[in-house]
Amino acid sequence: QPDLPLQGKKVLVTAGGTVERLDPVRYLSNDSSGKMGYAVAEEARGMGAEVVLISAPSSLPRPEGVEFVPVVSALDMLSAVMERLKDVDIVIKAAAVADYRPAEASPVKIKKKDEEMTIRLVKNPDILQQIGERKTKQYVIGFAAETNDLEANGLDKLRRKNCDLMVANDVTLEGAGFGTDTNIVTLLDKDGNVERLPILSKREVARHLLKLAAERLPSAGGER
């Protein structure tokens, strides 16, 4: 069906910025609002897909008609994604996942003491990289949030994380990246194609990505 190109397909989307606890009242996180990932979830539903939205904390309203899985930390997001990976056709990782988390989360509020304090951080697992290692039929789209060398860094992440498509955004540009309703993205694929899109609403970016993914699914144009 031309208007429902994702009918019968399952799409898994991650959104928002993960929250890494330090103590009961403090945490490390980032500026992701969830808008990019929620736009993908809503467009995918509109295109006929069955959608799972795995969301780190966000103040956006929960989209209707999608399976909503709230998570907090990168470790929570990893298990929510891995549990569902084998059942889905398309994965879109718009979430901003913390690269590091505090080595310990104190069960009680940390007391003010010395003039200086050091917080030890440990590396979080790279969820997208693990998806890249385990994927079978899935079309996997990652995002790269960059402040410099957009295409070189995006390409490096595409290869390292074994994605099918990398959506690179320069988060220093006005109208792009964190918190905005629009984005300015460059699409990089495994075959070396580079597509630089103009400023678009996050919904329009989402639609573009999902159309591409629909065309490139192994079953596109034929039976599975």
* Residues in touch with ligand PMT (CB under 6 A): 32-36, 74, 93-97, 99, 124, 126-128, 142-145, 157, 169, 171, 177-179, 183
For residues 133 and 220, which CB has a smaller minimum distance to ligand PMT in the complex? 133
Closest CB 174 distance from ligand PMT, rounded Å = 14
DSSP single-letter state for residue 87: G
Residue 30 annotated in active site:
yes
For residues 48 and 68, which CB has a smaller minimum distance to ligand PMT in the complex? 68
Closest CB 223 distance from ligand PMT, rounded Å = 31
| Under 8 Å between Cβ of 85 and 70 | no
DSSP E strand boundaries for the chain? 10-15, 20-23, 26-28, 50-55, 67-70, 90-93, 100-102, 121-123, 139-146, 165-170, 182-183, 185-189, 194-196, 200-201
Report the Cα 119 to chain-centroid distance in Å: 27
Per the annotation, does 184 bind a ligand? no
Closest CB 20 distance from ligand PMT, rounded Å = 11
Per the annotation, does 93 bind a ligand? no
Per the annotation, does 218 bind a ligand? no
What are the binding residues for CTP?
99, 109, 125-128, 143, 157, 161
